[in-house]
Amino acid sequence: MYAFTYQRPTSLDDAMAMLGDGDAKLLAGGHTLLPTMKQRLAAPSALIDLGALRDQLSGVTEEAGGVTIGAMTRHGEVAEDPIVKRVIPALAAMASVVGDPAVRSRGTMGGSVANNDPAADYPAACLALGATIRTTKRQIAAADYFTGLFETALEAGEIITAIHFPKPEKAGYEKFRNPASRYAMVGVFVAKTAEGVRVTVTGAGANGVFRAQDFEQALAANFSADAIKAVKMSPDGLNSDIHADAVYRAHLIGVMARRALDKANI
């Protein structure tokens, strides 16, 4: 790890001011950033630890029928939260399969969404549920937020404060874990929402999370696993690597989508 200065602001204003400085980076749970720094793939000049803002930036509230979750809320807290479990059980279930218990007691929703790893789980949930990402500057619709591999609409110095998830009529998530990393080799989030049916895929797209629109069309009239049995996912634009080639990933998307639909329809 290269040297950096460490700062622990006690207000968002201070955090924003500190971020203005060189290539400073925010530190949330550190479960992506620190491994990357250990490998010397990232070398921020300063770490701005949001730890002292945890009280202010974490927790779940019910809002407009859906849920609003603070950026510093940990995966394990989302998984166990009674409001999330009642209002959007699929979101709690998704959080319960991020990494392992120790990762879930440290890693945060905000860190995951800011990082936009192409194999992370949260991006699929945000895009399928039509979430709104709230920052220190503005509100960003999930559809405009995830812009590519590890790329988001966040500007320099912008801090995610919370994410609002509208309540879907039905939703489900299923992932096929990479046997080594436990990230999604393919993860599919299905949701029947006021905006229509959404089927989002993580772990498979060469450009990060995406909507599987052929599945969405087939599900518009009949939101069930049967409705997509005959729909074939094209391997075009999917990843091939040592774990799975694009054809296998395309196949897995269909299987995961059908399992997610079965969960959503319980």
Which residues lie near ligand FAD (CB under 6 A)? 25-33, 35, 71, 75, 98-99, 103, 107-108, 110-112, 114-115, 117, 120-122, 159-160, 182-183
Partner whose binding site includes residue 115, from another protein, ligand FAD, none (CB under 5 to 8 Å by kind): ligand FAD
When asked if residue 5 is in the footprint of another protein (CB under 8 A), the reply is yes
Separation in Å, CA 100 to CA 76, 97, 183, 233: 9, 7, 10, 30
Q: Is there binding between residue 34 and another protein (CB under 8 A)? A: yes
Closest CA to 239 of 230, 231, 250, 229: 250
Is there binding between residue 35 and another protein (CB under 8 A)?
A: yes
Element (H, E) at 18: helix 12-19
Give the largest Cα separation in the chain, rounded.
Answer: 57
Nearer to ligand FAD, 203 or 218 (CB): 203
- Which of ligand FAD, another protein, none lies near 120, with the C-beta cut-off 5 to 8 A by kind? ligand FAD
Question: Quick one: CA dihedral 126, 73, 181, 25, positive or negative?
Answer: positive
Return the residue of 55, 100, 155, 236 that touches another protein, per CB under 8 A. Answer: 100
Rg of the chain, C-alpha, whole Å: 18
CB 263 within 8 A of CB 225: no
Nearest to 234 by CA among 245, 218, 250: 250
Out of another protein, ligand FAD, none, which partner does residue 39 contact, by CB within 5 to 8 A per kind? another protein
Binding partner of 26, given another protein, ligand FAD, none, CB within 5-8 angstroms per partner class: ligand FAD
**Under rule CB under 8 A, residue 38 binds another protein:** yes
The correct pick among 10, 45, 222, 240 for binding another protein (CB under 8 A) is 45
Residues 89, 238: Cα–Cα separation, whole Å: 29
Where does this chain bind another protein (CB under 8 A)?
A: 1, 3-6, 8, 27, 30-31, 34-35, 38-39, 45, 47, 49, 51, 76, 99-103, 105-106, 180-182
